[in-house]
Amino acid sequence: MNPRYNQRDGENEYEYGLRLIETKVEEKPDDLGWEDIVQATGMDYNIDSLRKAATVTPYCGYAVAQYFKKKYALENKAEESYVNELDCKIAEARKESKRLFDQRREFNKLVDKLGRAENLEDCLISAANSLNKLIPLGVNKNVCVVNNDSEAIVVFADWHYGMVTENIWEKFDTDVCRERVERLVSAVIERLQLHRCKKLHVVLLGDMAHGAIHVSARVASEELVCDQIMQVSEIIAQAISQMANEVEETIVHATYGNHLRTVQSKNDSIHADNTERLIPWWLQQRLSIRGDIKFPEAEYYEFLCFKVCGYEVCATHGDLDNVRNVGKTLNTLFVKKYGKDIDYVILADKHHKEEFEELGIESMIVRSLCGTDEYANSKRLYSTPGQLMMVFKPDLGADAYYQIKLD
């Protein structure tokens, strides 16, 4: 007999017989007869009886067995399909639950962040109010000054308050920083009186504190970053208040640098995620008792754009810019997005004085207040510490430039 008709492992006598009968009825092979089935299985049945039992009517034993076999197969298939569908729905539900969980987690992080920010703002307001009572920065105008239509710009940039350095070129620490600011304010007041300026624009171009973005910055810092921000903010507030007494109106424009970013890695950080943005917020609270100092809201992200005697001035920290192409680049940007032509561009960051003019746009880099730090000294780079003041007149533009040296 054909080997395929042999009994299989795990197959009992009854199952073996059913398989041979099914093969005979369904396939009708020439090499398998009813007598072969009886002999192979050892059945004690008449061959004709076996044949009739398997083939006579739909209600014979074989037909009934096949009916229920197919029925169970269909039910199992339907059940399997149902189970598969249920598994898919469970998987979708789990995915949706995970998505909602992630959304809730991000939302909670945002709420926590906003809560901390609001709490910080409340603390700053309370501190500013207390300091206003202790050291009021009220209006004390110089009555001898007769104002005209001249306006002035004074740029505060790269103070790096908190940095400590001593090299062949100079020494710098918090005491030196305070002393230089005092001399700067005196020089600005002298020139405001000389030109009898009506309005003063104070431009904060960033890196007012040293921060801790590099190991070298942390090593070279005299104070913690939070202390640096608090201390330098108050120094700026008092400086602005003194200068504001010499003019009718003072406008403070503020952006941020790169030394106070919250993430050390430049590649991983978000440019606007910067603790230096707290400084103008503190100034507004600290100088709120004065009605002659205004803080216009920044409309152009890290760029400052404002008019002085009718001329458009654009200023930014400069860590992302080059003085030789920034005028043309920013003019193209502002013309396309805001319909404004730029007349002057002011940058900081590079710690040295540099000027460039193209297409009638004057671009300049402001000196740093801190002067030569350890990095610059290691590169044999030296620049005199100082800040920039400009005096504008209607129809003339920038009529006077003062490179106020503070060495």
C-beta pairs of 336-341 under 8 Å, 24+ apart in sequence: 338/300, 338/305, 340/305, 340/312, 341/312
Q: What is the pTM of this model?
A: 0.67
pLDDT digits (tens, 9 = 90+) for 6-56: 888 888 887 787 788 878 777 778 888 888 888 888 877 777 777 777 775
Identify which of 118, 217, 80 has the alpha carbon closest to the alpha carbon of residue 162. 217
Contact (CB, 8 A) for 329 and 376 = no
Higher pLDDT, 160 or 66: 160
Lowest mean pLDDT among 5-14, 260-269, 293-302, 350-359: 260-269
Percent of the chain with pLDDT over 90: 41
On the question of pLDDT at 150 being above 80, the answer is yes
Radius of gyration of the chain (CA): 43
Assess whether pLDDT exceeds 80 at residue 111. no
Angle value at C-alpha 24, between 19 and 28, nearest 5 degrees: 145
| Domain range annotation of the chain | 3-56, 144-405
Q: What is the CATH number of domain 144-405?
A: 3.60.21.10
What size, in residues, is the chain?
A: 407
Convert the pLDDT of each residue in 168-197 to its tens digit: 888 999 999 999 999 999 999 999 999 999
The model's confidence at residue 216, banded by pLDDT at 50, 70 and 90, is very low
Buried b (16+ CB within 10 A) or exposed e, 287-299: bebbebbebeebe
Predicted pLDDT at 106: 75
Strands (E), 266-376: 293-294, 304-308, 311-315, 344-347, 354-358, 361-365
Summary mean pLDDT of the chain: 82
pLDDT of amino acid 381: 77
Of 183, 393, 134, whose CA–CA distance to 286 is shortest?
134
Q: Which pLDDT does position 268 carry in this prediction? A: 45
Nearby residues of 185 by Cβ (< 8 Å), 6 or more positions away: 239, 242, 243
